[in-house]
Structure 1
Amino acid sequence: MSCNYLYRSVSHRLPNFICYTPIAPTILSHKSPFCSSRRRRQSRSFSISAGNSFTWDDVFRVPESPQNDDSALSGFFDKIKLCNRDLEKQCEFMPFVIEDQIIGYVHHGFADFLKPFQNVFIFPQDNTYGSHFGCYCTLHPNLSTPNDRTKAVANVVKSLGELIPGIRNELFPVASAFGEHIFFALERAAAPYFGIKPHDISCGENLIKECEEEAGIPRSISHTAKPVGAVSYVDIEGYRMKRDVLFCYDLKLPGGFIPHNEDGEVESFRLVPVTKVANIIRNTSFFKANCNLVITDFLFRHGHIKPEVFGYLKLLQSLRSGYCS
């Protein structure tokens, strides 16, 4: 039977998991690494202990879900919705345009905080790009090079202070589409406030390195990680529009491989059947919201979600609800 390793992190209030597979391939995703979850949904569909009182017993007593009736996929659809919230509010955002290319979207309320920085952000009156507000957001024409734009926008982000929490001092390349010309670099925590599409394939290597450090995966094994596709979503929350593309990787581990805590950030590992992992997604909110999408994609690709189940194609399509470009 295909099994996955899960671990519990001691560095966050709610449990944190990583999936490794000693027999069958496992998903790794650059944007939603199971080994670095930061935010949790706290609602759960059955009574278990929470927070620091969480135990592995909670994992193993997740109830079984029906496999073949019309409700079999309902729990998966619920998790898709958690990553695609309030899509009807897209009309509240105006295009963010650089060199005639739409690179993102800015909420009209957030735009009010940008307007005082007239030497950086301007708002031409023009409906060319489909704005509902008769204008769009762009950078001042004096900012003509990527380096100038990066510095100017960084100063604005810094000036906005607590309006943009979680500053990581990690710059993210900004382009109109994956692989296209990079216009400037933006603080990663600020990307959702400008509706930037975070997808950087180089992060896959960083994730693998992080997994090596946390679980003691030899480099000779981690280098065999195979890219297997991508999932995407659009999540709107207040001024934020997350247009994320998560690149997925399979990493096949030897049957006798046992993860070991290497950096002090992991409490323990357990081997859990992949069918139990599927039930965790259906019935709980243990995993980080966008990790659910990556694991669900794994379940599709390895036959754990079958086409004869009602809603199969709709669920498969919903894993790529965002802007895959």
Structure 2
Amino acid sequence: MRKDKEWSDALLKLVSDLNNFNYADPSKDPAHAGCVPIYIDGHRVGVVPEDVLAELTNYPDVFSIHNDNSNKSVHLNEKLSTVEERSKAFEQVLQDLRHKEKFVTLKGWRNEKYSIYYKLGEPPLCHVERAGCPLFGFIQYGVHVNGYTLKDGQLKMWVGRRSKTKQTFPNMLDNMCAGGLTSGLGVTECTIKECQEEGSVEDETLKNLKAVGSISYCFKDYRGVEPETQYLYDLEVSPDFIPKNADGEMQNFQLYTIEELQNLIIAGEFKPNCALVIVDFLIRHGYVTPDDEPNYCYIIQRMHMALEPSL
């Protein structure tokens, strides 16, 4: 287990890169001052980047731009009062923007819907194409599984290599099983589905699946604003278990020691949020401790950023 400055610096870089956007109040950051909140049914549910805002003015039947005391905001038309109507409106706008090739993120169209909530646990306000969510800064939810085993007297973790044709982060390292929380699926239901599709994990092994918490963060990149919450699971597998991909989203799997994982994180080989999932595992299992990591509390705080409104 590495405990040197290079490792510590890599942890700081990771949490900084994944939190380069102030989701609660982007106006506090001059670099993001042009981003404005978007409201559905009177609820703030996202943040619209400045370049997206300019395009939304072309859809006055769907969106209205308010400018109250210099506080600009986007509002979905109140006449769109049902989940179905709102979902259809977003679909039409995004398909039009896709056809016009306005935004890079829409080139990775998934034909997969994400549910948009004001508060998770309440009924969804609408369902939106996954690739379009960064254009509105909608919170995206996902599931990640740490598949690990004890072999040769030490803990090792299974890691997958993403397909070269993945819409995002192709050919990078990933957790053994992971995926977005698709509309209509429960969290554990989605996790089991990903385990079966990405790793061919059998039902008997899935009995060891354990929910262990979540991480949340928000960053802005070439696709847009991406606030994300990932539900985390640990899955201890037998030493002779070998994951086999069944959906074409992984090239292969490799079993790594803790120090090998650290070196890969330092080298930037991992999809960033997947690296953060592993860091969470290392903290929970006592590999990263406050005695060895000078930025221990700061790192943990930056792994659990507040995205949802207060209860």
- Category of TM-score, reference length = shorter chain: 0.7 to 0.9
Give me the whole-angstrom Cα distance separating, in 1, the residues matched to 2:57 and 2:222.
18
Cα separation, partners in 2 of 1:262 and 1:192, compared to 1, 3 Å: closer
* Higher mean displacement: 189-198 or 175-184: 175-184
Deviation, 1:278, is: 2.2
Amino acid at match of 1:191: C
Structure 2 equivalent of residue 295 of structure 1: 278
Matched, 1:320 2:304: yes
1:178 aligns with 2:178: no
The answer to whether the 8 A contact 1:92-1:107 is kept is: yes
Tell me if the contact between 2:18 and 2:219 (Cα under 8 Å) persists in the aligned partners: yes
Question: Deviation of residue 86 (structure 1)?
Answer: 5.0
Q: CA deviation at 1:115?
A: 0.8
- What is residue 40 of structure 1 aligned with on the other side? none
Q: 1:70 Cα deviation (Å)? A: 5.3
Q: 2:192 aligns with which of 208, 219, 223?
A: 208
Partners of 1:306 and 1:202 lie apart in 2 by: 33
Report what 2:40 is aligned to: 98
Gaps of 5+ in 1: 1-63, 128-132
Match of 1:286 among 261, 269, 275: 269
Query: How has the CA–CA distance of structure 1 residues 111 and 264 changed in structure 2, closer, same or farther, with 3 Å as cutoff?
Result: closer
Does the CA-based 8 Å contact 1:208-1:222 persist in structure 2? yes
Q: Give the SS at the match of 2:72.
A: coil
Superposition deviation, residue 314 in structure 1? 1.1
The one of 108, 114, 129 aligned to 1:187: 129
**Residue 221 (structure 1) aligned to one of 205, 215, 227:** 205
In structure 1, C-alpha distance between the alignment counterparts of 2:282 and 2:111, rounded to whole Å? 35
Question: How many residues end up aligned between the 2 structures?
Answer: 254
Partner of 1:30: none
User: Partner letter of residue 90 of structure 2?
Assistant: V
**Shift of residue 84, structure 1, vs aligned partner:** 2.0
Higher strand share: 2
CA contact (8 A) 1:234 1:322 kept: no
Cα shift readout 1:253-294 (whole Å, capped 9, x = no counterpart): 12332334556665544332123212321x211110111111
Letter in 2 for 1:181: P
* Distance in 1 between residues matched to 2:222 and 2:198, nearest whole Å: 34
| CA–CA separation in structure 1 for the residues paired with 2:247 and 2:86 | 37
Q: CA deviation at 1:307?
A: 1.3
The answer to whether the Cα contact below 8 Å between 1:212 and 1:222 also exists between their aligned partners in 2 is: no
| Contact 1:245–1:324 (Cα < 8 Å) also in 2 | no
Residues 12-40 of structure 1: CA distance to partner in whole angstroms, max 9, x if unpaired?
xxxxxxxxxxxxxxxxxxxxxxxxxxxxx
3-state SS, counterpart of residue 113 of structure 1 = helix
SS of residue matched to 1:210? helix
Determine the structure 2 residue equivalent to 1:46: none
* Secondary structure in structure 2 of the residue aligned to 1:110: helix
**Can you list the C-alpha shifts for 1:82-135, whole angstroms capped at 9, x where unaligned?**
2223543343211111222101111233111011111111112325xxxxx533
Q: Residue 167 of structure 2 aligns with which residue?
A: none
Identity of aligned residues (%): 30
Shift of 1:175: 1.2
User: 1:226 touches 1:249 (CA, 8 Å); kept in 2?
Assistant: yes
Counterpart mapping for 1:69-108 below 5 A: 72-85=7-20, 87=22, 88=29, 89-108=31-50
Report 1:1-325 matches (<5 A): 65=2, 67=3, 72-85=7-20, 87=22, 88=29, 89-127=31-69, 133-161=70-98, 162=101, 163=103, 164-199=106-141, 200=181, 202=186, 204-237=188-221, 240-260=224-244, 262=246, 266-281=250-265, 283-309=266-292, 310-323=294-307
2:217 counterpart SS class: strand
Structure 2, unmatched stretches of 5+, are 23-28, 142-180
Structure 1 residues 264, 101: closer, same or farther in 2, change over 3 A? closer
Are the aligned partners of 1:107 and 1:239 in contact in 2 as well (CA < 8 Å)? no
Cα pair 1:85 1:237 within 8 Å, conserved:
no
TM-score, reference length from structure 1: 0.71
CA-atom RMSD, angstroms? 2.4
TM (normalized to structure 2)? 0.74
Q: From the superposition, tell whether residues 160 and 260 of structure 1 become closer, same or farther in structure 2 (CA, over 3 Å).
A: closer
Deviation at 1:73, TM superposition (A): 1.4
Q: Which has the higher contact order (CA 8 A, sep 6+)?
A: 1
